Structure 1
Amino acid sequence: MDRLKHALLDYHERSKHRVNFYAPGPGGLDWATQPDPFRVFHDAPRVGLPLAADLLATRYNQLRCGALPPAHDFDLLNLAILFELSLGLSAWKSYGTQRWALRCNPSSGNLHPTEGYLLCPALHGLSAGVYHYVSRDHALEHRAAVDDPRWTEAFSESGVLVGISSIHWREAWKYGMRAWRYCQHDCGHAIAAVSYAAAALGWQTRLVEAAADDAVADLLGLRRDEDFLESEREAPDALLWIGNPDLRPGLERMLTALDKAQWHGRANQLSSGHVTWPDISAIHRTTHKIRTREPDSSDPQPRPSPGAPALDLSFAAIARQRRSAVNFDGTTFIAKAAFFSMLACLLARRDTPPWNALTPPAAVHAALLVHRVDGLEPGLYILVRNPDALLDLKQSFRPEWLWQKTGPDDLPLYFLLPYDLRAAAKLICCHQDIGADSCFALGMIARFEIALKQPWRYRHLFWECGMLGQTLYLEAEAAGVRATGIGCFFDDEMHALLGVKNHAWQSLYHFTVGGPVDDGRLSTSPPYEVEP
């Protein structure tokens, strides 16, 4: 364990950006080797999915309040909606001769290392087996056809599994050593995106936390050497159970049933030149997860419903209009009530997306640098998402902080420092104006000892950060503003601001929310061509 702890700390420290130097990266972009953002499995049978998201009546405000609609049937139509609004395309952008896709699940640099899979019994319109989702074509590739009663029995006729994997090279091509962090952020965004979309169909989502990485890889077909050959490999990330939360799939029976499955398809090569980053391979090994016990699903602390957002949007609309802001105007203010409502949605509530996918308690808290919130004094605040962490946070941060409770009684928000922190926010966000021009910026502060005790939980801390980010993306759109994730930040400058002097707490992700400045040079077109 000491060896793994040392290896984890070594990666964590050397992958930090610092004011006087950045984490090791490629030094320049070799556009000839830019990875293809779309994985396909050649010769795998395809199932085209209907574009049916507009049939979904669920409002976004229903989901954020935990008011899920009656559960829809598990069939081809509804699974098509699930994937369209979670991992599907949301638009195409173009500038001159360049054209690129945006997706409902965001990604660092729009590079999209995340791949999605479906594991299901025989359903109306869909045969039993393992499928890979191709977002570009909104289609499922039938990777494994399973004709074994044990496969069907494993699902208990109560749900399906969604698998998530990462292709590290897609991010490493641009970001080098720090790319592994971004892959984990993106996995968290994807988990949240699936949870929201499932909830819009009346389905609960649960992370199958006990599953070992090797089992996830085998279920998704990621260890089949003959199917990858010269192509880039995928790292197993997560399995999400979609359906009855009181029942869990029988993974052992599924693995046994796959022994006689008929597999199809060969993965496409994404890049003509693949550069190996040994540090990414090392942290991948260090955080490898073996099978564990399913954690106790204790109820999170009861939370009231958040206030209604400014815009009453359908979930389909908000999922597809989510964008990452490139610049903020530096003048927009948001109302104090809207700010408090956003923060309320960051608190875990039972059976409410996206937090229904995780087992409490929360391990990540939000340190907020508030610039432009009407009726709220600018300065440093912290949202303590787990009340059990309050004393530890007080002891770990600067002793002179105020720790003045503010906002609604049931919102665990504390005012630490009255000060104009725009310059600090810009500095911490790698000198980017977007940190200062926002309504507020925040750093996600994680209880790092969790990872030091169980290294595979290092990934989960990043996932929780990504889920917080996805929530902020949707909340910002509903408030009439926009958000963006900030992967480039100076870790230890944030720690210095807070007064953190050791590894008890670490900043793992940054975010900003503000009034967006759109780039008029870009053209937007629909995500999919619809036949007349």
Structure 2
Amino acid sequence: MTDTAASERVLAYHRRTKHQFDRYAAGPPGLDWNTQPDPFRRYEGAPVVEFPLLGDAPEPAYAELYVPGTVPPRPLGLASLAALFELAFGLSAWKRFGEDKWALRCNPSSGNLHPTEAYAVTAGCPGLDDGVHHYVSRDHLLERRCGFAAGTATLPPGLLLVGLSSVHWREAWKYGERAYRYCQHDVGHAIAALRYAAAVLGWRVHLLDAWGDADLAALLGLARDADYDDAEREHPDVLLQVDTGTANPQADSDALLAAAAAGRWLGRANALSGKHEWDWPVIEETAAACTKPRTAGSAETVEPRPALAPTACTLGAVELIRQRRSAQAFDGSTAISAADFFRLLDATLPRPDVTPWDAVDWAPRLHLLLFVHRVEGLPPGLYALPRRTEAEALLRAALSAEYAWERVAEAPAHLPLFRLLTADARKAVRTLSCHQDIASHGAFTLGMLAEFADELAQAPWRYRRLFWEAGMIGQMLYLEAEAAGLRGTGIGCFFDDPVHELLGIQGETLQSLYHFTVGGARVDARLQTLPPYGHLADRPSGPA
């Protein structure tokens, strides 16, 4: 398939999966609880290494994660690797209501369905055999999928790789054809979650975007047909390099692939559902169209900005990461201070060497459209934040000519926040967000407008990358909302083209990919909260 044909297929998928006022994207008529996917993948027969749990050792403050060089790097070992995976992909709590019980995790997920699987690729890590290991969050352990023969794979000292994949069925079971979008959001959530977890340990993360999907599938064992049988397949998404402070060079991709090809593979994937009542072929067709080949990788320049204003949050980083939740309802009255609002928006702007944006090498392609309801000192209305300087002209040209584009004088001078319209936008954003009260009851709601047509014209696989960027923004907003004493939640259900029509956007130069809202959460007292690893009470714990 040519890039042109693949881009046309991706564009057709995007159009097909838009929600409209008169119809929703194709999905199941109801939830078939008998086929609900198992949220935990296991590779039966693979040797396991149990991780120690992260104890109550001293931790850096959340504020320190944004100041380069503040947190001294921990040495790489089993305990520190365990802490990385626990804080990035591990459980944060269990919830119980009556006889029902379900897990929450540190990395957010659409519908708490968690399509993302995580892998560690190690060579020379103390306490762990060289090879490819699958992480099981429920039991906080690694399954060794592939053992490298001695001397066949090398990584620079202090370096490890983390691979991410998606089980599309987990999202499709509930959301039907739109699920592919949500899987890509969740990859972005996971990238940012890994970057924050690494920052707690004083480590750095870098996305290896030169890798192709076929190479990643070979490295992680996802192309091994015999290991899946009737089990749902995983789609390769991304490979990330974690530098623990002693390595600078990147891993030798050819050597790693050779080691994986010659290694000893163990384990067979469990089936997540006994059957699929509904299947959505367009998801796998679109995934095929979005297949990424090997590329030269990105090397775009991040524009300089003043240091991020310090947060008033005094919580420890581990405490804040663990307490992150997706709000289910807002109180409709809580406001956010202007200082916290500006800080939160400023944190979405990439800076060199600052979490989480130093994990990627591309300049922002998503920009924020804000429905302000209750921000102290700001009138309610519609606001815009271009996240790249030259994107201001693009937004001005694409949005309605009737908007005022008044610079918000109260904002820091370097924060390009513009007031488009002063109005009560609560009813409008509620309607646009699939009639959900949560969009109008918070302090503000935002949409993420992507530079869509240009990215898709360059390469069809960039469609995925736009959603990754949206997910990274989402995870950052989740943590910043908690730091401000509030709560956030992503909104994947919105009426796509009506959003564009409200803004005056014509064609597909810009497209809204993800909505998010922040406010004062209403907590359901009927739900019981249980510790994440109470079922592993005998597991040792201690400092990373």
Q: Tell me the TM-score range normalised by the shorter chain.
A: over 0.9
1:431 aligned residue:
435
State the shift of 1:204 in Å.
1.1
State the shift of 1:173 in Å.
0.3
SS of match in other structure, 2:382? strand
1:454 aligned residue:
459
- Change in 2 beyond 3 A, CA 1:460/1:54: farther
Aligned counterparts of 1:498 and 1:73: Cα–Cα separation in 2:
50
Aligned counterparts of 2:111 and 2:515: Cα–Cα separation in 1:
15
Aligned counterparts of 1:399 and 1:131: Cα–Cα separation in 2:
54
Gaps (5+ residues) in structure 2? 540-544
State the shift of 1:305 in Å.
3.0
Q: Which moved more, 1:143-152 or 1:112-121?
A: 143-152
Aligned counterparts of 1:519 and 1:66: Cα–Cα separation in 2:
38
Q: Please tell me the root mean square deviation across aligned C-alpha atoms, in Å.
A: 1.3
- Change in 2 beyond 3 A, CA 1:342/1:53: farther
1:239 aligned residue:
239
SS of match in other structure, 2:320? helix
Residue 531 (structure 1) aligned with residue 533 (structure 2): no
String of CA shifts for 1:168-199, please: whole Å, max 9, x gaps.
00000000000000000000000000011111
Gaps (5+ residues) in structure 1? none
Residue 163 (structure 1) aligned with residue 199 (structure 2): no
Residue 226 (structure 1) aligned with residue 226 (structure 2): yes
2:295 to 292, 297, 305: 292
SS of match in other structure, 2:102? strand
Aligned counterparts of 1:474 and 1:221: Cα–Cα separation in 2:
33
Match of 1:382, as an amino acid?
Answer: A
State the shift of 1:268 in Å.
0.6
Aligned counterparts of 2:261 and 2:330: Cα–Cα separation in 1:
53
Match of 2:299, as an amino acid?
Answer: D
Q: Note if contact 1:53-1:85 (Cα within 8 Å) is conserved in structure 2.
A: no
String of CA shifts for 1:89-129, please: whole Å, max 9, x gaps.
00000000000000000111111000000001022111110
Match of 1:376, as an amino acid?
Answer: L
Q: Note if contact 1:53-1:84 (Cα within 8 Å) is conserved in structure 2.
A: no
1:312 aligned residue:
314
SS of match in other structure, 2:431? helix
1:513 to 510, 518, 523: 518
Query: TM-score normalised to the size of structure 1?
Result: 0.97
Residue 76 (structure 1) aligned with residue 54 (structure 2): no
2:449 aligned residue:
445
SS of match in other structure, 2:532? coil
Pairing of 1:63-462 with structure 2 (within 5 A): 63-152=65-154, 155-243=155-243, 246-274=248-276, 275-298=278-301, 300-406=302-408, 407-448=411-452, 449-462=454-467
SS of match in other structure, 1:473? helix
Q: Note if contact 1:8-1:452 (Cα within 8 Å) is conserved in structure 2.
A: no
SS of match in other structure, 1:63? helix
SS of match in other structure, 1:219? helix
State the shift of 1:470 in Å.
0.1
State the shift of 1:434 in Å.
0.5
Aligned counterparts of 2:456 and 2:184: Cα–Cα separation in 1:
14
Q: Note if contact 2:125-2:158 (Cα within 8 Å) is conserved in structure 1.
A: no
The size of the alignment, in residue pairs, is: 529
Q: Which moved more, 1:308-317 or 1:52-61?
A: 52-61
Q: Note if contact 1:107-1:186 (Cα within 8 Å) is conserved in structure 2.
A: yes
- Change in 2 beyond 3 A, CA 1:441/1:5: same
- Change in 2 beyond 3 A, CA 1:56/1:186: farther
Aligned counterparts of 2:180 and 2:211: Cα–Cα separation in 1:
21
Match of 2:287, as an amino acid?
Answer: H
- Change in 2 beyond 3 A, CA 1:53/1:485: farther
Aligned counterparts of 2:249 and 2:23: Cα–Cα separation in 1:
49
Residue 467 (structure 1) aligned with residue 469 (structure 2): no
Q: Which moved more, 1:127-136 or 1:143-152?
A: 143-152
String of CA shifts for 1:235-284, please: whole Å, max 9, x gaps.
00000111167421111110111222111111111001124311101110
Aligned counterparts of 2:118 and 2:16: Cα–Cα separation in 1:
30
Match of 2:506, as an amino acid?
Answer: K
Aligned counterparts of 1:10 and 1:53: Cα–Cα separation in 2:
49
Q: Which moved more, 1:181-190 or 1:305-314?
A: 305-314
Among all aligned residue pairs of Structure 1 and Structure 2, give the percentage whose two residues are the same amino acid.
50
Aligned counterparts of 1:396 and 1:429: Cα–Cα separation in 2:
21
Aligned counterparts of 1:246 and 1:78: Cα–Cα separation in 2:
19
SS of match in other structure, 2:211? coil
Aligned counterparts of 1:263 and 1:480: Cα–Cα separation in 2:
47
Q: Note if contact 1:37-1:112 (Cα within 8 Å) is conserved in structure 2.
A: yes
State the shift of 1:68 in Å.
4.0
Aligned counterparts of 1:177 and 1:5: Cα–Cα separation in 2:
18
State the shift of 1:412 in Å.
1.4
Match of 1:307, as an amino acid?
Answer: A
State the shift of 1:56 in Å.
5.0
Match of 1:39, as an amino acid?
Answer: R
Aligned counterparts of 2:345 and 2:320: Cα–Cα separation in 1:
18
Match of 2:379, as an amino acid?
Answer: E
Aligned counterparts of 1:396 and 1:53: Cα–Cα separation in 2:
51
Aligned counterparts of 1:388 and 1:228: Cα–Cα separation in 2:
47
State the shift of 1:53 in Å.
5.2
State the shift of 1:482 in Å.
0.2
2:506 to 484, 488, 501: 501
Aligned counterparts of 2:420 and 2:236: Cα–Cα separation in 1:
40
Q: Which moved more, 1:101-110 or 1:196-205?
A: 196-205
Aligned counterparts of 2:70 and 2:294: Cα–Cα separation in 1:
32
Aligned counterparts of 1:3 and 1:119: Cα–Cα separation in 2:
34
Aligned counterparts of 1:219 and 1:263: Cα–Cα separation in 2:
11
String of CA shifts for 1:293-313, please: whole Å, max 9, x gaps.
022253x12223333334311
SS of match in other structure, 1:369? strand
SS of match in other structure, 2:119? strand
- Change in 2 beyond 3 A, CA 1:455/1:85: same
SS of match in other structure, 1:259? helix
Residue 481 (structure 1) aligned with residue 481 (structure 2): no
Aligned counterparts of 1:452 and 1:107: Cα–Cα separation in 2:
29
Residue 57 (structure 1) aligned with residue 59 (structure 2): yes
